[in-house]
Structure 1
Amino acid sequence: MRSIAVVAVILAAPTVAHAERAVTGTVVDDASGMPVPGALVAIGAAEAATDDDGKFRVADVPFGRLEVVIIADGYQAYFGSARVGASLAVRLAPESGTNEVIHVSGRVPAGPPLHLDTEQIRTQPGAGNDVLRALQSMPGVARTPFGLGGLALRGTAPRDTKVYLDGIEVPLLYHFGGIASFMPTGAVDQVTLEPGGASVRYGRGLGGVAVVTSRTGRRDRWRVGGEVSLIHAAAIAEGPGPLKGGWLIAARRSYFDAIEEAAQLDLTLAPRYADAQVRWESGDGRWMAILFASDDKLRLLRDPNDTGAGGVDTSNVKSFLYTSRFARLGVRYRAVRGATSVTVLPSIGVDDVNARANHEDIDKGMHKTTVPLSLRADVATALAGGTLSVGFDGGWQRHTYDMVNTPPPSPMDPSPDMVVSRSLTRWVADAGVYAEQSWFFANDKIEIRPGLRGDHFGLSDQWTLDPRIVIHEELPHSITLTQSLGRYHAPPLVTDFDPIFGERVMLGSAATQVAVGFKSIIGDDKEFSATAYYQDLRELPVDAISSATPTSANGGTESGGLLGISRELVDTQFGSYSYREAIGSGYAYGLELIARRNVGSWTGWVAYTYGRSHRKNPIKGDAFHPYVLDQPHSLTVVGTTAIGKKWRIGGRVRYTTGNPMTPVAAAYLDASGDWVAVDGPLLSKRLPDFFQLDLRVDRTWKRPSGTWNLYFDIQNIINRKNPEGVTYSGDFSQKSYTNGLPIFPSIGVELIP
């Protein structure tokens, strides 16, 4: 039967304005090796047909990783990926029966414009060869103290950002202290960042979405690579697998704890982290299976009776152990039948966090376990002159935890003073369904994409309905405009239902987002974009009972500085350590600019963000105050250049406004003779501005085993003292700054197979 083109119903890949760039290749019969003429090749927003020799050239493709779909009568559909300049050799397997492929006029829906591929991550100065830390240099991303983990986008909290690996939600993005993210760079193909305006495909979050796409293992032969640095070692292998597919296997472990122990360093705590990934994908891209896991451990290293260990008094601490582990297993299937594409992704996992200590002969701690069963399914088909996508995004979770500590103040007990043991077990079902329709007008120059998402949150027994719409216009001279408006909801945390609080109702939070974007691609290698946004935040969880400790003395999140931000970063992992109610509100607005050069001897970008984020806690008054990660000005300049064929040098300059903090206005002696701080206006002062200069040098050697790369990535090369927090003297008359990381070298050697 006739073979007619399929475009919009198959792909859900980023579409941006483009200059003259191309992907070429050849399509042949897998059994005979003969050319397959007339096959449809759809790459991103562009398409072409193979000629009599099976060759094709798809022009006008955008930057970044692009989904590839190839369809021909009598053959199984092929799914893959490519980038600008790639030359593909594709073998199609015969399929029994015939398959009519229907043409749908239009393009695939527009997607996120911010992306980093493996090479950009690997050579980015200041990122330390790390996947998610590289995103800190993109616009709209708040800087966190000490480079601690967490992605806070466009004025929202870190817990509001969703991160997915191959469609599976990742529960914990960073290893302990933000030392490294959960996945080594060698196993990553690309990371895309959508700071706001996410599609209805994504829910249960108020912030943006980061999507990590793992790399498909090469199928011709087995290869082995790895990395050895000052803090960890990693190994990676890839090779042929079943169904003419490919395996990718990676593992990594830090050894800082072993170095401390062997060298008998005078330090109190020893961190250790490890992670592993196993990925298989069939040759035609229909099937994919992935298993990934992360493991962190922090323990006492020295004799706790040694009060001089690292300058920290541990004489009353007899034991301490912190572990955090998670694992996920998922299988993806995708297929095309006529004008309909189907993707199904079930997954299962386990999260386990355990923190225990014996302080003054009293056992304290928390053990929290979550078992998630998830399912994502999407069907896209031609309808009403456009593309309709419908899907399900939900699952079941079993939450269990036990706590042994002094509970926070609550309406039941405003002044707790005893250690209480309690536990909780709860099954929760979260279900989300969505529908999204794309229409194209004016010769496919205008796209209108309305969508609707409905969710039920099991913890709060709450139904939500989120309408969203995106309008995308292509203008002359490779200019695109994008406007988005949408509603978003997020569920509460399980720790907000601590049994010590009794039976309670805790609703989720909500946000309304609006954004207007402009993007232009200049020539074949440069792009510029600008985005203005506004967010209205409602039903935010805030402390509803004032702590006995003054806010300015780290008595709550509104203290700001290092400890206030740290509470935000560990919110989803440990809980809030306070009694909260969904009565807070806020707003955020800003302008994001980025000018970027993607290819050539010089690559890099200049990113600037003007952003404000404010919150209101009615318990503390009717006034809005800055959010603890409110950073009005953020400027990042990243650049790298090749020197000859073997050397590459680069640098990063980063400036941000200092984080807000609540000052101590005065202090007085209470009846027991202790000094008590008097709070100044909430978050009315700021730490000094942050400035950092990073330098990276790479030297490569090409050998039969692969490419060897020796790198020196030195953060804060000028050793600037950047204040990240404040500490006070006993009577609060003197203050001193807790400074951030000093000069920090990351040195290692990597074998790229």
Structure 2
Amino acid sequence: TYNDYQFKINSKLSDRDELYVIGLGSFDKNRLNLSMKDPEEDRKYILGYLPENNQISYVFGAGYLHSFTGGRLQVTASRDYLKNQLCKYENNDEALPKTLDIDSREGNYRVRAAVSLWDLNGFRLQAGVGGGTGSYRNETFRQVYTAEGSQEDRSSSRFTVGRYEFFATLSRDFFRERLSVLAGLRADGMTYSDLTSNPFRQLSPRVSLSYKLSRKWRLSASVARYHQEPSYTTMGYNGNLIPGYNQKEGLRYMAVNQYIAGVNFSPTPQSDFKLEGFYKQYSRLPVSLLDSLPVSTGDFADYIVGDVPAKSVGKGRAYGGEFSYRNLNLYNTVVNLAYTFFVSQVNKMDGELRPTSHYLSSSWNVGHIFNVSAIHKFGANWTVGAKWYLSGGVPYTPYDETLSSLTSAWDARRRPYPDNTRYNGMKMPVYHQLDLRVDKVWYFNKWRLGFYLDIQNLYNYKAAGQEILMPEIGADGQYMPDPNKPGHYKMQHIAHDIGGTILPTLGITIEM
């Protein structure tokens, strides 16, 4: 059961002052359907490993805008919260011991103030400061299997952090507005540890240039460095998988250097062609000490990503290019088209957890993405829109069939184990789908009524995904041992489709 809500309230206090309040939230409750009669093998597999889950999330924020001659002041304050509870019993029987019990909660208070000045002898300036506090709590019990065998991983973590930031951008046009230059700088810090507290270690400068060759042609380029803090689940881990390890000693902000260059051609005011190339260098990526893989894709990323002992020693890269076309009025139709080719990789780590010169595909290395969408307006306030999407195959790691069949290993996880010597060495098939939406609007005095029909995956495309590997199940509902390999289950391969669901949605909107 998924429950979502959102709202936004704007109030013009005066010609120069505005106040707004926004909110987004959800409450999701997921329960296993244990009453199915004669479920298929792939459903038995899902019921075997998937936990039941309660999740609550929300964000509330308020902002104040004050305009004055030549500038504007903006002040914002917000609160966000996420509560995630997962529970799994052995054989889905509450009379038996738990194999997974996670209660994770995180919340943040944030404030930010920024001033924009639009005419400082031709310069434009935006500068500001921000800060806040964050809190995290995690109580975890889970059965895991490591090189030492099956064991219980227990952790109890609570911490709070203070955050602070400052930022500024300065821009100006030169040569009769043919050349636009923007320079920016920001710094972030938090009180998590000595490695994160000094904001000057997280300086993020950027410079961008744009030059108008003619009325229709424009060149652009930018160089930037950005930082991002590790996730709360990674910062908060303090389990017993590596006794005595202090997570704070190894985590830092992630960093990326980004280089972009492009050219724009606008034959008409309504149309635009763009060709852009990019190169990104990633450093300080959190790497799991258990499998030497990025924490977002390793063996222990099943339910809460990053809940492992880790160090910020990983590196990676991404590069590619994108071509896009946009027309706001092509025979009364808005058309958008984009094709992206890119490579996304991480450096393989050696035995001392040092990056090598050998690259592995990241889990986002799909290679090709193509999007085309069109929205046509008919008479009587009817609108029809369509979007076709194609993506290259997602990388995946083949299974370690020997380890997966081991009874103690399977019972700890109820899922097959990847063979990380072939990490992301295979790819799923290309995926594509067509979405269609029809809107009708009626206008009344001071309000309007809308109706829409949205159909996702209109032609019901199905693609063969990675096969499911699981033990065979006997007539008694129990996993069958392998008579030829004591201590192992008798395994089977099951076909697994990805996509293939036609999802229609009917909706009504009311705006006042």
- Normalised by the shorter chain, which TM-score bucket? 0.7 to 0.9
Q: If each structure's strand is expressed as a fraction of its own residues, which one has the higher value?
A: 2
**2:258 pairs with 1:500:** no
**2:345 pairs with 1:586:** no
Paired letter, 1:432: E
**2:422 pairs with 1:689:** no
Contact 2:397 2:418 in 1 (8 A): no
For 1:5-56, what per-residue CA distance to the aligned partner results, in whole angstroms no more than 9, with x for missing partners? xxxxxxxxxxxxxxxxxxxxxxxxxxxxxxxxxxxxxxxxxxxxxxxxxxxx
Counterparts of 1:605-624 in structure 2, within 5 Å, are 605-619=336-350, 622=356, 623-624=358-359
Counterparts of 1:588-737 in structure 2, within 5 Å, are 588-599=318-329, 601-619=332-350, 622=356, 623-664=358-399, 667=402, 681-703=422-444, 706-728=447-469, 730=471, 734=493, 736-737=495-496
Mapped to 2, the partners of 1:697 and 1:656 lie a distance apart of 25
From 131, 151, 171, give the equivalent of 1:438: 171
Counterparts of 1:263-412 in structure 2, within 5 Å, are 271-282=1-12, 283-284=14-15, 286-300=17-31, 304=34, 311-312=43-44, 320-336=52-68, 338-359=69-90, 360=93, 361-363=96-98, 364-381=100-117, 382-383=119-120, 385-406=122-143
Contact 1:307 1:315 in 2 (8 A): no
Structure 1 residue 319: deviation in Å? 9.1
Which residue of structure 2 aligns with residue 214 of structure 1? none
Contact 1:724 1:737 in 2 (8 A): yes
Cα 1:723–1:541 shift into 2, 3 Å: farther
For residue 546 of structure 1, give the secondary structure of its aligned residue in structure 2: coil
Mapped to 2, the partners of 1:658 and 1:450 lie a distance apart of 38
Instruction: Name which of structure 1's ranges 625-634 and 276-285 shifts more when overlaid on structure 2.
Output: 276-285
For 1:110-151, what per-residue CA distance to the aligned partner results, in whole angstroms no more than 9, with x for missing partners? xxxxxxxxxxxxxxxxxxxxxxxxxxxxxxxxxxxxxxxxxx
Contact 1:657 1:689 in 2 (8 A): yes
Mapped to 2, the partners of 1:299 and 1:674 lie a distance apart of 26
Structure 1 residue 424: deviation in Å? 2.3
Structure 1 residue 607: deviation in Å? 0.9
Paired letter, 1:424: S
Contact 1:701 1:708 in 2 (8 A): yes
Mapped to 1, the partners of 2:344 and 2:60 lie a distance apart of 34
CA RMSD, 1 decimal: 3.6
Structure 1 residue 596: deviation in Å? 1.0
Structure 1 residue 342: deviation in Å? 2.4
Cα 1:431–1:617 shift into 2, 3 Å: farther
Mapped to 1, the partners of 2:254 and 2:77 lie a distance apart of 27
For residue 616 of structure 1, give the secondary structure of its aligned residue in structure 2: strand
Structure 1 residue 720: deviation in Å? 1.6
Cα 1:729–1:693 shift into 2, 3 Å: same
Paired letter, 1:377: A
Mapped to 2, the partners of 1:278 and 1:319 lie a distance apart of 35
For residue 422 of structure 2, give the secondary structure of its aligned residue in structure 1: coil
Contact 1:349 1:372 in 2 (8 A): yes
Contact 1:724 1:740 in 2 (8 A): no
For residue 645 of structure 1, give the secondary structure of its aligned residue in structure 2: helix
Mapped to 2, the partners of 1:700 and 1:456 lie a distance apart of 48
Counterparts of 1:11-410 in structure 2, within 5 Å, are 271-282=1-12, 283-284=14-15, 286-300=17-31, 304=34, 311-312=43-44, 320-336=52-68, 338-359=69-90, 360=93, 361-363=96-98, 364-381=100-117, 382-383=119-120, 385-406=122-143
**Number of aligned positions between the proteins:** 461
Paired letter, 1:523: T
Mapped to 2, the partners of 1:309 and 1:637 lie a distance apart of 39
Runs of 5+ consecutive residues of structure 1 not aligned to the other structure = 1-270
For residue 233 of structure 2, give the secondary structure of its aligned residue in structure 1: helix
Mapped to 2, the partners of 1:556 and 1:522 lie a distance apart of 43
Mapped to 1, the partners of 2:148 and 2:402 lie a distance apart of 23
Paired letter, 1:625: L
For 1:505-524, what per-residue CA distance to the aligned partner results, in whole angstroms no more than 9, with x for missing partners? 21121100011122233323
Cα 1:438–1:698 shift into 2, 3 Å: closer
For residue 459 of structure 2, give the secondary structure of its aligned residue in structure 1: coil
From 461, 470, 474, give the equivalent of 2:212: 474
For residue 462 of structure 2, give the secondary structure of its aligned residue in structure 1: coil
Cα 1:394–1:294 shift into 2, 3 Å: same
The alignment-based identity, stated in percent, is 19
Which residue of structure 2 aligns with residue 206 of structure 1? none
Structure 1 residue 293: deviation in Å? 3.2
Which residue of structure 2 aligns with residue 256 of structure 1? none
From 290, 306, 311, give the equivalent of 1:576: 306
Structure 1 residue 706: deviation in Å? 4.7
Contact 2:429 2:464 in 1 (8 A): yes
Structure 1 residue 536: deviation in Å? 0.3
Mapped to 1, the partners of 2:285 and 2:212 lie a distance apart of 37
Cα 1:732–1:575 shift into 2, 3 Å: same
**2:161 pairs with 1:428:** yes
Structure 1 residue 702: deviation in Å? 4.5
Cα 1:400–1:318 shift into 2, 3 Å: closer
What TM-score do you get using the length of structure 1 for normalisation?
Answer: 0.55
Which residue of structure 2 aligns with residue 534 of structure 1? 279
Instruction: Name which of structure 1's ranges 670-679 and 291-300 shifts more when overlaid on structure 2.
Output: 670-679
Mapped to 2, the partners of 1:417 and 1:578 lie a distance apart of 14
Contact 1:459 1:494 in 2 (8 A): no
Cα 1:618–1:315 shift into 2, 3 Å: closer
For residue 322 of structure 1, give the secondary structure of its aligned residue in structure 2: strand
Paired letter, 1:378: A
Which residue of structure 2 aligns with residue 522 of structure 1? 267
Cα 1:419–1:680 shift into 2, 3 Å: closer
Mapped to 2, the partners of 1:488 and 1:556 lie a distance apart of 19
**2:177 pairs with 1:418:** no
Cα 1:373–1:540 shift into 2, 3 Å: same
Mapped to 1, the partners of 2:392 and 2:310 lie a distance apart of 29
Paired letter, 1:685: M
Structure 1 residue 681: deviation in Å? 2.4
Which residue of structure 2 aligns with residue 483 of structure 1? 221
Cα 1:383–1:674 shift into 2, 3 Å: closer
Cα 1:499–1:706 shift into 2, 3 Å: same
What TM-score do you get using the length of structure 2 for normalisation?
Answer: 0.79
For 1:189-210, what per-residue CA distance to the aligned partner results, in whole angstroms no more than 9, with x for missing partners? xxxxxxxxxxxxxxxxxxxxxx
Instruction: Name which of structure 1's ranges 613-622 and 458-467 shifts more when overlaid on structure 2.
Output: 613-622
For 1:243-297, what per-residue CA distance to the aligned partner results, in whole angstroms no more than 9, with x for missing partners? xxxxxxxxxxxxxxxxxxxxxxxxxxxx222213242321536232314131222
Structure 1 residue 705: deviation in Å? 7.3
Cα 1:706–1:308 shift into 2, 3 Å: farther
For residue 581 of structure 1, give the secondary structure of its aligned residue in structure 2: strand
Which residue of structure 1 aligns with residue 256 of structure 2? 511
Mapped to 2, the partners of 1:716 and 1:469 lie a distance apart of 41
Paired letter, 2:434: L
Counterparts of 1:732-751 in structure 2, within 5 Å, are 734=493, 736-751=495-510
Mapped to 2, the partners of 1:670 and 1:442 lie a distance apart of 70
Structure 1 residue 747: deviation in Å? 2.7
